[in-house]
Amino acid sequence: MKSFNYKLLLTVALFSVFSCKDLTELNKNPNGVDPTKANPNLVLSTVLTETGKAFVDLGYQDIAGVMQHTQKDGWVGSHNEYDWGGSQSWSRYYDILRDNQFVYDRSVQLGFELQQGIALVMKSMVFGLITDLWGDAPYTNALKGADGGGANTFPVFDPQETIYMGILADLEKANTLLSKPRADYTSTVDAADVYYNGDPAKWRKLANSLALRYLMRISSKKPDVAKAGIEKIVATPAQYPLILAAADDAAMPFAGNSNNDSWPANTTYDASASNYRRLKMAATFVDALKALNDPRLGVWANKVQIPLVVDPSLPAGTDKIEGGKRLLSPDKVAGKEVNTDPNYVGLPIAIIGGPTYNLSPTAEQGANNPHVSWLNDIYKQAKGPLLKARLVSAAEVRFILAEAALKGWAAGDAKAHYDAGVKASLDAWGLSSAYNAYIAQKSVAYAGTLQQIIEQKWIASWTAATEAWFDYRRTGFPDLKAGPQAKRKVLPVRFYYMLDERNLNKANTEAAMNRLEQTTYSEADGKNSPWSKPWLLQGTGKPW
């Protein structure tokens, strides 16, 4: 009983103390930063780093599986087979956008035009990613939850067309805000800017390069808008500078101090190294690179550790390792798929028995398969000169301009842009000296086809495969086929709207789902399917 009385008295005493204080004062963190007085640079650095990580997590992980840069020999469902089950969520991207909105609003209050321009570029990039991945999405009323009201708490999903046009308007505004010489800005960014160290000229190039990306994105649906926008940018380079050299790429390096700020799937902070070992080069990608004698293959992949050699002169039953090779008699491989390339072997797409492919010693050792090409050892590292989140590149910009010129738009010479796109990619991967020999090959030299432009763009998108996916959806190139274990017979074109959104914002989510176009491949899921077509693809006949 004494114990009970003591607790009761303590509770009353505490209540008496706290009842004399303003609860809003108690809710303040004495060690925190007052948002009304904060420097926007403190939050801007988080916006940039989180965006960089988000892009590489897509383009190096599951979307690299969709675009057949890589395959996994374990944990294959989402990577190889597109069995997503509604697991993707856009909450990560909206978290970034909320932080970015603070940067913009606070910069407006302070009159910081540089930060305003950067924030508009980042808003465009992240909202662009959301609508590219899902289709219709909260946009006009997004990021207003703190304002209260049903329209803000449960925002409508803006049509995809509205979002793209809003992005283009914001990028036009950003181009103006970022047009001053560096010395003319009343604020700096510098160390907070892990992309460009506060250089407004480079941010301006990024703004206009993003505009090119989205103008080409909508080119099948709004060709007049796309043509006029791209021709305006190309005609006035002083007013609309672009990323045209690899040195200006929007690419974020990794600090490498912890797992949180390091290259994903690095082995420095992963004692088991399983995330690195499970990821193998895809046969589709390896075969395409080998057919072009592409020097980038050696930068991105390791050669097989132990090549297979099938030798008819060997006695029946031979299976031995000798001289660094595994020697096999024909009877040992009868009825089995065997790849005896002595250098690079890719893992086929969505196959049964990936862990045992190409005579891997045992299924349990699939991740250690010595007869399939692993990724280059640089991808074991936490950081490095080539380990960057690549958001927009000169190669991408050049290939967009080549495509525009191929359409007959006033965008320059298609061949010159194509050649420059190939060179920019080689430059970015430290292979400048290989350009002349590579471009001189008949298989690489410009042939004047959209397929060739998009396929080189696909190659250049290594570790940034998300953009290649978006190109594939609108063009059908590269001509990729789903593997035998894939969830559908064709590649997906969007993400599912997630369950929590369907539950919490039901009416608006259902309205957006009803605007999707159901296809033969989405019937099993209903309209909310990765194989249903958003506005961007409806009526285009692409990609299938």
- pLDDT band for position 37 (cuts 50, 70, 90): confident
pLDDT category of residue 32 using cuts at 50, 70 and 90: low
Residues of the chain by 3-state class (helix, strand, coil), percent to 5: 50, 5, 45
Looking at residue 284, the DSSP 8-state letter turns out to be H
The pLDDT of residue 16: 39
Residue 331 has pLDDT above 70, yes or no: yes
Instruction: Indicate the range of 111-125, 170-184, 263-277 predicted with least confidence.
Output: 263-277
Residue 136 has a pLDDT of 98
3-state secondary structure 101-125: HHHHHHHHHHCCHHHHHHHHHHHHH
Q: Which pLDDT value is given to residue 149?
A: 65
> Mean of the per-residue pLDDT values for the chain?
93
* Measured distance CA(352)–CA(349) in Å, rounded: 9
Give the DSSP letter string of 458-515: HHHTTT-HHHHHHHHHHH--S-----TTSSSSS---SPPPPHHHHHHTHHHHHHHHHT
Q: Helix, strand, or coil here: 252?
A: strand
The pLDDT-based confidence of 27 (bands split at 50, 70, 90) is: low
For the cut 80, the answer to whether the pLDDT of residue 427 exceeds it is yes
Q: Which of 32-41, 123-132, 312-321, 414-423 has the lowest mean pLDDT?
A: 32-41
pLDDT at 510 (0 to 100):
97
Residues in the chain: 544
| Alpha helix stretches (DSSP H) within 407-449 | 414-428, 435-439
Domains of the chain: 35-252+462-544 (1.25.40.390), 276-380 (no CATH)
- For residue range 192-239, list pLDDT tens digits in order: 999 999 999 999 999 999 999 999 999 999 999 999 999 999 999 999
Which residues 6+ apart lie within 8 Å of 87 measured at CB?
78, 498
| Phi, psi angle pair for 466, to nearest 5° | -60, -45
Question: 38 falls in which pLDDT band (50, 70, 90)?
Answer: confident
What percent of the chain lies above the pLDDT cut of 70?
Answer: 93
Looking at the predicted structure, is the pLDDT value of residue 4 above 50?
Answer: no
| CA nearest to 368, candidates 416, 459, 305 | 305
Q: At what angle do helices 41-59 and 465-475 cross, to 10 degrees?
A: 60
Nearest in space to 43 (alpha carbons), one of 141, 127, 133, 110: 110
pLDDT over 90 at 86, yes or no: no
Split at pLDDT 50, 70, 90, the class of 8 is very low
Tell me, what's the pLDDT at 48?
Answer: 98
pLDDT score recorded for residue 153? 81
- Cβ-count burial 527-542 (b if 16+ within 10 Å, e if not): bbbbbbbbbbbbeeeb
The pLDDT assigned to 13 comes to 36
Kindly state the tokens that stand for 358.
Answer: 């190409």
Q: What average pLDDT does range 537-544 have in this prediction?
A: 98
Residues 6+ apart with CB under 8 A from 363: 353, 355, 356
Q: Distance between CA atoms of 177 and 206, rounded to whole angstroms?
A: 13
Q: What is the mean pLDDT of residues 71-84?
A: 94
CB atoms within 10 A of CB 190: 11
Please give the pLDDT value at position 19.
40
Rounded Cα distance between 534 and 304, Å, is 41
In tens, the pLDDT along 371-388 reads: 999 999 999 999 999 999
Q: What is the pLDDT of residue 5?
A: 38
Given this model, what pLDDT does residue 28 score?
56
> Per-residue pLDDT tens for 134-173?
999 999 999 987 776 667 788 999 999 999 999 999 999 9
